Structure 1
């Protein structure tokens, strides 16, 4: 399994090369620019499923099924200033929606901002999250004596 920090750095490289898609679906059919979550999936898994061009619901399921992609998405989500939204998965049971959080963060205008983050700002956030992941990897797991 690729390291979380490595996945985040590869994602930054992909966005620098392809750009960031902010419209419908997870991949722009004209430019092949990925959404942030799709770029993280591509960096983690090394391929883009055809569903990313046409089917958002299936795309979400594919991303959620990738442990390395979800680890990187959660690390990025945890490093953002805004909290992840919660999605109800059963009556009375809510879980954080990290995929929605990073995708929405990269495409929407935030409080006190006049525009969504630029591609450079998204790349900067990816590098900061990768640095945080590296720092977390330095410390061994703490266990009771």
Structure 2
């Protein structure tokens, strides 16, 4: 199982080279398929291509992503690096909704969603935070 830091850094590379899907479902078909930030976390963490459900079935996509411990660890790390808190679904924080919405929608007082560079920067910041926590586990 890859480390969360490694998954995050690989996610940044994938987004840099393949872009980021910000529409309906978790992926879109085109000359180069694009994936939502959570779908990218899944494909990188599981080291596999995007499953067909990412293009057509949001409920099945959510279940697949939630079942992947390394993908959820990366998603939670990104969520922790954001300036907002995740909403709750069934009394639990909804980390997937949190980062998918952050990457795809305009923030209050902003004219557009975060740029691809801003998304990559936040992912790398989450990876750096994990590196710092590992290097100094007693830091507050």
- SS at structure 1 position matched to 2:112: coil
- SS at structure 1 position matched to 2:34: coil
Render the CA deviation track for 1:28-48: whole Å, top value 9, x for unaligned. 111311100001111111112
Distance 1:18 1:28 in 2: 12
Q: Which moved more, 1:25-34 or 1:76-85?
A: 25-34
> Over the residues paired in the alignment, what is the CA RMSD in angstroms?
1.1
The alignment's TM-score, normalised by the length of structure 2, stands at 0.93
Partner of 1:15: 15
Pairing 1:112–2:114 present: no
Render the CA deviation track for 1:6-63: whole Å, top value 9, x for unaligned. 1000000000111000111111111311100001111111112111111110000000
Aligned residues: 136
Distance 1:140 1:118 in 2: 32
Matches within 5 A, 1:53-92: 53-88=55-90
Partner of 1:39: 40
- SS at structure 1 position matched to 2:40: helix
Structure 2: segments with no counterpart, 5+ residues:
none
Of 112, 131, 137, the match for 1:134: 131
Max radius of gyration: which structure? 1
Deviation of 1:138 after TM superposition, in Å, equals: 2.0
Deviation of 1:140 after TM superposition, in Å, equals: 4.7
Runs of 4+ residues over 3 Å off in structure 1: none
Pairing 1:99–2:99 present: no
Partner of 1:91: none
Distance 1:96 1:34 in 2: 23
Deviation of 1:112 after TM superposition, in Å, equals: 1.3
Distance 2:20 2:64 in 1: 19
- SS at structure 2 position matched to 1:110: coil
